[in-house]
Structure 1
Amino acid sequence: MIDDIFAALPLGFMLSFMPGAVFFVLLETSVIKGFRAAIAFDFGVLLADIVFICIAYFSSYRLLQSIKDEPALFIFGGLILLTYGIISFIKQKRDSKKEKVLKSESKDIIKNNYFGLFVKGFFLNFINVGVLGFWLAIIIAVGPKLDMDQSRIVIFFASVLGGYLLTDIGKILLAKQLRKRLTKTNILKIKQVISVILMIFGIVLLMQGWSPSDREFVNSAIETLEKE
């Protein structure tokens, strides 16, 4: 069991630093809204990961095959992410013109909707079907090494998510130090950059939906599982 835990922790650390929409929004939340807000967001992300792990472990081949061959799922997730990024970017532009950014952000820091942030974290992670492919590939890779023992698999993935959470806490604490430098201009730049990043990842998901060849990671993972 100890060996399984030590094998899982580096994966959790690596997962925490994988670039993506969640990575950047977590840092933004920490810098602008504080530690508790970032933790609430991160718990939502973790819940989505848990759901994906359960789907990858318990789903039938038919369901996995339909996910693999359904580009609409990638297009749907990409459109949502792209739309969210565009709306957010336009909102920041409008707020900057009204010169209300500093006041509104100060209120956000003092009073946060933690449940809303939790839902936001879950939503941003869950709309990325590629995350399901990632967890499926991990199950394929480590399952035989764990003798497909359910208790060992639970411990392994709990350790992965535990390592992920601990690493994220470290990132949040470091990012929180930047709050001392928050100004009207810095807040606006941070939110605009995050909005652009969300649009970019939305476009990437759309490209995956329109170009089946770009979904090789998910496809190869499922094909390997079918051969086991």
Structure 2
Amino acid sequence: MAELIVVRHGQASFGAGDAGSYDRLSDLGRRQSEAAGAALRAAGWIPDRLICGTLDRQRETLAGMGFDGAVEEHPGWNEYDFHDLLAVRFGGDVPDPVRGDRKTHFRTLREVILDWQAGGLEGAAETYAGFAGRVAAARAHATDTTAERVLVVSSGGVIGQLVAASLDAPAKQMIALNLQVKNTSMSRFIFSGQRFFLHEFNTTPQFATPEGAELLSYS
């Protein structure tokens, strides 16, 4: 069976006030990207198809991994717009602790995503059903191939959705998985035709040494 590895992008700029400011890798994110590519090469895993979403942090991560080949882009791999969801939740005035305090931010994000999944947040740019549908379309695009090793760079929410769907888990498991996904972690799937199975979730061989462990981040 063929393999699909989906890598979360490297660390971006937590606490940025707008989506454009967040959509750039930090210095740590660039180092994480290089380490992830080196780990795959050390394992002898060289992709024969490269895909990412259309977000800059995803493009930068894939470029930083250092693999040769044409890069395809599919918007289905883009993250849900959490800036928009929070703005809708708070009527456009997101409290400072939600923007800048990690614990408050992620607790609030979990509550907002569960509300979104239940049909709340009317007026958001994207519904949860629309998000789930485009992730499914991105998966179908990536696995409709003769390639044996497909590498995708995406984002935490997409990876959470992809894993939950592959396990036929309840929708609420998406955010539980999302919040576990480390920067540049690797989730591996195997596929053949319509068959699609999770093989590994959120692995980080690049952080297995004491030096590598210093690169670990979740946001």
TM-score (ref. length: structure 1): 0.28
Higher strand share: 2
Q: TM-score, normalised by structure 2?
A: 0.29
Larger helix proportion of the pair: 1
Structure having greater relative contact order (Cα 8 Å, sep ≥ 6): 1
Rg larger for: 1
